[in-house]
Amino acid sequence: MQWRVSIPPLTRVLLALLVALSVSYQALRFGGDADQVTGHYLALIPQWALFTPWVYFTASYSEQNILTFLIAGATIWFGGKYLERAWGSLEFGKFILIVTVLPNFLASLVYVLLFALSPKAEHALVVIQGSVALQGAFIVAFKQLVPEHTVTILRGALKIRVKHFPSLFLAANSLSGILFGTDTALVLAWLGFLTSWTYLRFYKTQPDLSSASTGGSQLRGDASETFAFAYFWPDTIQSPIAAIADGIYNALVALRICTPFSAEDVEMGNEQATARGEGGLPSIVNHDGSRSGRNKQEESERRRALALKALDQRLQAASTNNKPQPTIGQSSASSGAVNTATPGTEERPDQN
């Protein structure tokens, strides 16, 4: 009984849904009706999806083999337990609905477009299913909440910070799609990543952790500099990615699709990031109390260092852009004033 209570309610529902849909898929598959029934009613086939719109949700929980089923189960078990406790069941439910339905819908549009450009039947009849988009979305959420947390694998043989997971996840799925033909996983990984980041960056409401008031004030989105799109990638390629991302962002702002962040929004976002970093991961990941406290302190220090670095870069860029540059006309006037001035006379400012 205690084991069951330790799982938040919505996470428990998702695990049950994963088991039920995956077992149903396999039962229909072994019954010989996988192509005619399962593909239409549980998984997503672009040609038929509009006639069975619920597949945009159910496809994420219909796994086709035991390996992907176990990966999906671990994703929901660990990721769902933490995110539902961190956000609450309502916000977690909104997040799940968005990062399952929207990536699947966009993936179907991608394959419809491929079919229109190169009319091959396999593009319209490809089976889109699995939790890859959900995995990418959860990784982005962890990058927001605990980017500096270090995950230890194989008893310390391998240590990876959470902030590096998104780029590793996308690289692995991209290479797999190119080398092994798992193109649906490639498409879902990128769409899950982009959908999750867009929602968390601009739309999701969250409590103001940095506020001392008890009024329950809410913030919209996450304007912190460490959650900017460029910070998901290695340092060596952040500058060109930032330039491209800023160009797209400015275009969306000009089209009034996105609302620009103010300096106050960025400052509050940075305070939120620092406050989240001081909380660390809960006991579902860190079982050793002393190690958990030490990890939290290290995460906090790294978060502060990153925030200071980002702030320093922003101030340097602002000072460079705001530094007055004399024009040719001003330089000539200044030179002439120096050459023509004589002792005992007072120079008058230009009245023009």
Quickly state the pLDDT bin for 287 (edges 50, 70, 90): very low
Burial code (b: 16+ CB inside 10 Å, e: under 16) for 232-259 equals bbeeeebeebeeeeeeebeeeeeeeebe
* pLDDT at residue 121 tops 60: yes
Contact 26, 35 (CB under 8 A): no
Question: Closest Cα to residue 188, out of 87, 282, 102?
Answer: 102
* pLDDT at residue 290 tops 60: no
The residues pairing with 158 across neighbouring beta strands, listed in sequence order, are 153
- What pLDDT does 33 receive? 52
**Mean per-residue pLDDT, 122-151:** 93
* pLDDT at residue 23 tops 80: yes
Quickly state the pLDDT bin for 280 (edges 50, 70, 90): low
* pLDDT at residue 89 tops 70: yes
Mean pLDDT in the chain?
81
* pLDDT at residue 152 tops 50: yes
Rounded to an integer, what distance in angstroms lies between the CA atom of residue 273 and that of residue 303? 8
- The first and second tokens of residue 283, run together, are 């006991």
| 101 vs 287, residue with greater confidence | 101
* pLDDT at residue 37 tops 80: no
Rounded to an integer, what distance in angstroms lies between the CA atom of residue 27 and that of residue 29? 5
Quickly state the pLDDT bin for 259 (edges 50, 70, 90): confident
- The first and second tokens of residue 256, run together, are 């009034």
**Mean per-residue pLDDT, 344-351:** 44
- What pLDDT does 331 receive? 42
The pLDDT tens digits for 304-321 are 666 666 666 666 666 665
Quickly state the pLDDT bin for 285 (edges 50, 70, 90): very low
The pLDDT tens digits for 179-206 are 999 999 999 999 999 999 999 999 999 8
